[in-house]
Amino acid sequence: MAAAGHDVDQGNVDQANSGLDRYRRLHAASLADPEAFWREAAGAVDWVTPPTTVLDAFAAPFYRWFPDASLNTSYNALDRHVDAGRGGQAALVYDSAMLGVSRTYTYAELLDEVAVFAGVLAGLGVGKGDRVLIYLPMIPEAVVAMLAAARLGAVHSVVFGGFAPAELAARIRDARPSVILTASGGIEPGRRVEYLPAVHAALALAESAGTPVVAKAREGFAHGIRDYQEPGTSWLDWDDAVSTASAVPPVEVAATDPLYILYTSGTTGAPKGVVRDNGGHAVALTWSMQGIFGIGPGDVMLTASDVGWVVGHSYIVYGPLLAGATTVLYEGKPVGTPDAGVFGRLIEQHSVKVLFTAPTALRAIRRADPEGAALRAHDLSSLATLFSAGERLDTGTSGWIGEVLGVPVVDNWWQTETGWPICANPRGLGGVPLRAGSPSLPSPGFDVVVLDHQGSAVPAGTEGSIALRLPLPPGALTTLWGSDARYRDSYLSSFEGYYTSGDSGYVDSDGYVFVMGRTDDVINVAGHRLSTGAIEQVIAQHPAVAECAVLGLQDPLKGQRASGYVVLKSGASVDPLTLQADLVAMVRTAIGPVADFRSAVVVEALPKTRSGKILRKTMRQMAAGESYVVPSTIEDPAVLAALEPLLRPRPE
């Protein structure tokens, strides 16, 4: 199947159509008889007690999958592959562009590391149901920590390394961990981020100074555990603790027991701890690795994300290992470590079959190297597919990276809450025809419906609120940590019988889903509801534009008007007024005069979270003169400060 913008020969067309037929049969079956579908999928997981009941709807809308089954997720990710004779296969490749090192762990070696570190945790009193908070950079110990907690039936909560003490403290107060796992710090281009002072301050804020801390020492950092040896505290060196620990076996847990808590980022209010169970998670991710990503035993997957985000949980750590594949843990950036060709180097060096990254990373590469020469300098022949998620992938970037890499580019749409793609092109089923601007079709088990404000389904092609008919499939959140009521209020109360995604979009006549942005990114111009995402899609087609954000600003005549903020590609030379005229004309042609798009401002950068999402809500608040809180997840606060003067209302 060809990438966007490539010529498609008849063989590829036939293959895509065959894949589409297979997909439609499977998806229809998953909705018509979900219990039969997921019972069969559960056969790919090793159970201690196999399920006899697949779906428990007794407490609906709090559904439970495989309620009478038991298993261990760490066993499924490691031991069973070793038991099957594949202990010598590569499981984890640690590649640090920051340190210039690469190390490969076989399944047998990774199992040994995990089993012994589980012994460390057990020695600290950690058992089934206890929480383990993990605050680590992109080093092998992060993977070991997650799998070791799962081995004991403990519940891990990974917090993105570098979060401020106040945010870390909020998660400590909510999860009440029995132990905290951390390191000296994280390494970024041009700086080192000290973690230990942040952990110390967070424990004080959370009034949890006595919580044991195990820290992995890294060279080149100013602080060590000796700085925090205070009365009533227990700060341990990671390597010292491992040296005296013994391996422990996996603990049997109920399929419905929680595997992890992952807190969603937000600008205000208490963090929301998404809870993922063990059984449904293992079944869903195992199915997705084959059905969506086309990854099986021995294949190599590079997910250029962070273990602190849901993509890292699902497709750096658990998904590839459940599938018996090789996962690449990359410590570095898409550009600047050392250049815009680093993904090409990783593909060539590690024979990567599937690359999964964020649209922001792709736009950064395009901005730094518009011709893609640095990527093309490497042997990319092992690569079969590029997957992208995290933000909407604009068609300009998709087409560009598809041409550079020469592979299909698969946008996929999902959320922290769902745990795996709601919509994606199922490459493992043979794939379906690509459609520009769409993450393709709903994954099995996801019943996607677009609703109007009254909760009625809208016709094909009509934009509205994207909702998912209950029950959600295995692998999705089961509740929010410590608050079933908050889970119901946050996701289930808007439309009875549906999970509300918070995203707006439409479904075309062939069932392809188009996600245009958050529901609060829909603006009202003279009574016409318009998606800022649709306008961004048009602007991104301009050859000089690397990335953009469109906001709805207050207008005394029309209620709101659209205003664009654009970042130019590296080396692009264009007069700002000429660019604005070009973009206005493009929007007028593609969407119509009703958009009333008249303003396009060139900026050096757009404010983003560390996971690459543009902070549109904060930008809107600034533009409206409303009070706002600088999000804890922001990558660079200086970028937001530089934008503030440009976001103030200007006379037309």
The owner of tokens 């057990």 is 122
Q: Are strands 409-411 and 385-388 parallel, antiparallel or unpaired?
A: parallel
The closest alpha carbon to 151, from 128, 182, 181, belongs to: 128
Cβ-proximal residues to 322 (8 Å cutoff; 6+ apart), any chain:
45, 73, 76, 77, 282, 285, 286, 289
Structure tokens of 621? 């608040």
For 95, left (φ over 0), alpha (ψ -120 to 50), or beta? beta
Domain limits of the chain?
526-647
CB 139 within 8 A of CB 173: no
Q: Which secondary structure element, helix H or strand E, spans residue 469, and what is its range?
A: strand 464-469
**Can you identify the CATH homologous superfamily of domain 526-647?**
ANL, C-terminal domain (3.30.300.30)
Cα–Cα distance list, 410 to 15, 40, 441, 475 (Å): 16, 26, 11, 21
Measured in degrees and rounded to the nearest 5, phi and psi for residue 569 equal -65, 155
What is each CA distance from 275 to 47, 447, 620, in whole angstroms?
21, 21, 30
Which pLDDT belongs to residue 528?
53
Query: Is beta strand 559-568 parallel, antiparallel or unpaired with respect to 448-451?
Result: unpaired
Contact between 519 and 502 under an 8 Å Cβ cutoff? The reply is: yes
Cβ neighbors of 89 (< 8 A, separation 6 or more) are: 81, 106, 107, 297, 298, 324, 326
Classify residue 502 by burial, with Cβ atoms within 10 Å: 0-12, 13-18, 19+.
middle
Counted residue by residue, the chain has a size of 652
User: What is the DSSP track for 195-233?
Assistant: -HHHHHHHHHHTT-TTS-EEEE--TT-S--GGGG--TT-
Can you give the pTM of this predicted structure? 0.84
Give the distance, in angstroms, between the CA of residue 439 and the centroid of all CA atoms in the same chain: 15
E strands, 556-592, in order = 559-568
Nearest to 506 by CA among 458, 434, 453: 458
Residue 485 corresponds to which tokens in the numbers above? 């009521």
* CA distances in angstroms from 544 to 34, 370, 566, 579, 643, listed in the order given: 47, 9, 9, 9, 20
Q: Which residue has the tokens 């390494």?
A: 187
Residues 262-321: tens digit of each pLDDT:
998 543 457 889 999 999 999 999 999 999 999 999 999 999 999 998 999 999 999 999
DSSP annotation of 428 reads: G
Tokens in use for 285? Answer: 């991710």
pLDDT averaged per 10 residues, the chain (length 652): 38 66 95 97 98 96 97 98 98 97 98 98 98 97 98 96 84 96 94 94 94 97 93 94 98 98 68 95 98 97 94 97 98 94 98 94 91 97 95 86 96 95 96 92 98 92 94 97 93 94 92 82 59 81 89 70 87 87 86 75 85 78 76 78 72 45
